[in-house]
Amino acid sequence: MNSACSSTLFVTGATGYIGGRLAPRLVERGYRVKCLVRSEAKLRARPWAGNERVEVVEGDASDEDRLAAAMTGCTAAYYLVHSMDTAGAGYRGRDLSLAETFGRAAARAGVPRIIYLGGLGETGRDLSQHLSSRREVEAALGGGGVPVTVLRAAMIIGSGSASFEILRYLVERLPIMVTPRWVSTESQPIAIRDVLFYLIAALETPATIGKTLDIGGPDVWSYSKIMREMALALGLRRRLVIPVPVLTPRLSSLWIHLVTPLHASIARPLAEGLKNRVVCRSDEALRLMPHQCLTIREAMDAALAKIQTGEVETAWSDAGVMPGDPPWAGGTVFVDRREMITPAIPTAVWAAVSALGGERGYYAVDWLWRLRGIMDRLTGGPGLRRGRRSSDELRLGDALDFWRVTAINPPRRLELTAEMKLPGVATLTFDVDPAVHPGTRLVMTAKFRPRGLLGIAYWYSVLPLHGIVFRGMLRGLVRVASQR
């Protein structure tokens, strides 16, 4: 990799699922990487972001001037932006606009090539809105005249991927699945590690410039067969899959919303896309970039192993805007502050705090937390099923059940901002104070900024439960810290 040291690559989506794994691998190969992100602090929380070969540019992908200036001098640009999680039903128009802007900016900056990860799918009028949007993005990126290498992939099997999480949760929770007719549709999944191989190999293979290449694993299976294989990988009994003709994409997405961690707004375009056969139409990618991809079962086993050991590098929930003050911010803020002193050392207290949520729960009255999670899912929120990326480690921007890590300063302070459906903005902050001798003071502060009268009514309605939930959680944290 002699040329890598002198090459600077531009990467969008570096805090997302794919970009968050691609960028550090490019750095490992000796490239300089310039990352465009909405929140510099969020990216700086990644361990690889401190490398001297990483440059962070904070900005918006819709700002053409900013993009052109940032891309100047780069030898290639990776476009890994998808607004499906932030733009709701209008994601298609938003994605097209962003791609057109990026293509023009790349041309102005003199970038030699763009690399884009799109979606597999048969061509024609019956293509789903989601896959049609991917095709539109492909064309828009090249509108400025810069050659685009398009890699088209179907379901990506990897720890933390959206499609894998849908599959895993459905199979884990439903021994009998009543499904739409799309379960008989054929798909050619690919492991995340193989996607990353192709993204890097395309960069280093000049013959891929300007090409559209289908990438996929060695297996072509129906979704029903994939579900049954997932049950085997999870060590579960054979799942009964019953296809029926009456389940629409809308109903399917609502069902996915209730059973899995994904929101209906993300699940619906994915569910619509499942009606299309997604199989490689050419083996040109393999001829240009020879590679032995994992089988479906090998990819499943690798993903589940990462989940079980808590080594999930990135997750679908990483992407998205950080929670912040809304336009109506200001005014009354309700505060519930509690503290306890424990003989445990500060590092033990921090270890207990940073392990909160996920499979471990909240150290007290977990049934109330589960009930709150169910209520949140029913009203359109994320609920508790998102869990955590890692069972022990937290970093800025991580999703934690229906919270988001919005500030973290190990081993002193953790701030969680609620992403549940609320008539206001709620935060939960933990401060570990080592000033007490001997021992440690743990301060837990819940704040709520209400939105209108409904927000005020909400605060007073849940206030009686704080004495049970928060006091129990604080005592549980102290107990666990003392045991450590």
Which ranges constitute the DSSP H helices of 318-439?
346-353, 366-378
Q: What is the pairing mode between strands 156-157 and 190-191?
A: parallel
What CA–CA distance (Å, rounded) separates 400 from 386? 7
Q: For the chain, what is the radius of gyration of the CA atoms?
A: 23
Judge if 4-317 and 322-483 fold alike in CATH terms. Answer: no
What angle do helix axes 249-259 and 366-378 make, rounded to 10 degrees?
170
Residues recorded for the chain: 484
CA–CA–CA angle 134, 181, 224 (5° rounding): 85
The model's pTM is 0.71
Q: Helices (H), strands (E): how many in the chain?
A: 15, 19
What CA–CA distance (Å, rounded) separates 241 from 247? 14
Residues 6+ away with beta carbon under 8 Å from 6:
none
What CA–CA distance (Å, rounded) separates 155 from 178? 21
Looking at domain 4-317, what is its CATH homologous superfamily?
A: NAD(P)-binding Rossmann-like Domain (3.40.50.720)
pLDDT at 83: 64
Burial of 345 from C-beta contacts in 10 A (0-12 / 13-18 / 19+): middle
pLDDT at 127: 65
Phi/psi at 129 (5° precision): -60, -40
C-alpha torsion 366→371→377→381, nearest 10: -70
Burial of 332 from C-beta contacts in 10 A (0-12 / 13-18 / 19+): exposed
What CA–CA distance (Å, rounded) separates 247 from 245? 6
How far from 124 is each of 46, 99, 129, 135, 229, CA to CA, in Å?
Answer: 41, 22, 12, 11, 31
Please list the pLDDT of the chain residue by residue as tens digits (484 residues): 445 656 999 999 898 899 999 999 999 999 999 999 888 888 888 889 889 999 999 888 888 999 999 999 999 999 998 765 544 557 778 888 999 999 999 999 999 999 999 988 665 566 666 677 788 899 999 998 999 999 999 999 999 888 888 888 878 877 877 777 777 889 999 999 999 999 999 999 999 999 999 999 999 999 889 989 999 999 988 888 777 776 566 666 666 776 666 666 666 666 666 677 889 999 999 999 999 999 999 999 999 998 887 788 888 777 655 444 333 333 467 889 999 999 999 999 999 999 999 888 998 888 999 899 888 888 888 888 788 888 888 999 899 999 999 989 999 999 999 999 998 889 999 999 887 677 899 999 999 988 767 888 889 899 888 889 999 999 999 999 988 7
The continuous run of DSSP H or E covering 406 comes out as strand 403-409
Helix/strand/coil for 241: strand
pLDDT at 126: 63
Question: Is CATH 3.90.1150.10 the right assignment for the domain spanning 322-483?
Answer: no
What CA–CA distance (Å, rounded) separates 104 from 108? 6
Residues 306/159, Cβ–Cβ less than 8 Å: yes
What CA–CA distance (Å, rounded) separates 339 from 348? 16
Residues 386/312, Cβ–Cβ less than 8 Å: no
What CA–CA distance (Å, rounded) separates 409 from 405? 11
Q: Where are the domains of the chain?
A: 4-317, 322-483
Amino acid occupying residue 398? D
Which ranges constitute the DSSP H helices of 234-283?
249-259, 264-273
Helix/strand/coil for 291: coil
Residue whose pair of structure tokens reads 């005014």 in the numeric block: 331
CA–CA–CA angle 472, 398, 250 (5° rounding): 100
